[in-house]
Amino acid sequence: MYIVIVGGGRIGTFLASTLSKEGEEVALIESDRDLCQNLAEKLSILVINGDGTDAKYLEDAGVKKADVFVAVTGEDKVNLVSCQMAKKNFGVPLTIARVNEPKNESVFEGLGIDVAVSSVTAVSMIIKNAVTSGKLTTLLTLKEGNVELVELNVPEDSPAINRTIKDLSLPDECILTAIIRHGHLIFPRGRIVIEVGDLIVALTTAEHIDELKKTILGTK
């Protein structure tokens, strides 16, 4: 998977470092020259010094072949414009934008951004779902409500425990996107074995949620 990230702050650096260690190909665009030099020395990825809203730098980062485009600068305008360019001008399948002002979250989604993430909203969700063992929680609803990003906390009686992801027989319309285990992020691969207490994040269609719950939680 090829991923382009705009913004070399703490969030962008963490994402770039984590994804590259997981074997993904990553390019990062940052406007601060000194920060770029520091990142280029620290990370084994392509680092470009430039404006993330300028098509030239997006092309230099290889956005034409990107599977995912992520904008996580501290400026909502930059995140919005760069994601719109990646989507409309270069046809990137999935665009994700950091939203610094929570009130802009719905605006971003209304303007074509696939996923708009507000840190305030994320923290509120974590507090709200502090105890979610054996439950499914919807994090985001996309595409007019037909596609949902959900999380499931694997309970002790889950039928998925000690089974590999490839053996779960999930439908094509249900994709496991991340597993949080003991505070560590794991990118789901077919050989990964599900364990008690895993927090699973999945992308699925509304009509397949019951099947996902039955597979992971053992309930509908």
How high is the pLDDT of residue 194? Answer: 95
Q: What is the reported pLDDT for 133?
A: 46
Give the tokens for residue 146.
Answer: 């037909």
Sheet holding 174-181, edge to edge: 136-142, 147-153, 199-205, 174-181, 184-186
CATH topology (fold) of 2-124: Rossmann fold (3.40.50)
Sign of CA dihedral 118, 121, 127, 129: negative
Domains 2-124 and 129-216 share a fold: no
DSSP per residue, 156-191: TT-TTTT-BGGGS---TTEEEEEEEETTEEE---TT
Domain 129-216 sits in CATH at 3.30.70.1450
Contact 83, 29 (CB under 8 A): no
Please report, for the chain, the start and end positions of each structural domain, with discontinuous segments joined by +. 2-124, 129-216
pLDDT at 220: 54
pLDDT at 159: 93
Q: What is the pLDDT of residue 102?
A: 76
Q: Residue 70 in contact with residue 36, Cβ under 8 Å?
A: no
DSSP-assigned letters across all residues of the chain: -EEEEE--SHHHHHHHHHHHHTT-EEEEEES-HHHHHHHHHH-SSEEEES-TT-HHHHHHTTGGG-SEEEE--S-HHHHHHHHHHHHHTT--SEEEEEESSGGGHHHHHHTT-SEEEEHHHHHHHHHHTSS-BT-EEEEEEEGGGTEEEEEEEPPTT-TTTT-BGGGS---TTEEEEEEEETTEEE---TTPBP-TT-EEEEEEEGGGHHHHHHHHTS--
| Local confidence pLDDT in tens for the 220 residues of the chain | 899 999 998 888 888 888 888 788 999 999 999 999 999 999 999 999 999 999 999 999 999 999 999 999 999 999 999 999 999 999 998 898 888 887 787 788 788 888 887 765 554 554 444 444 456 777 666 655 577 888 888 999 999 999 999 999 888 788 888 898 887 888 888 899 999 999 998 888 888 888 998 999 886 5
Distance CA 181, CA 174 (A): 20
- Give the pLDDT of residue 116: 83
- pLDDT confidence of residue 40: 93
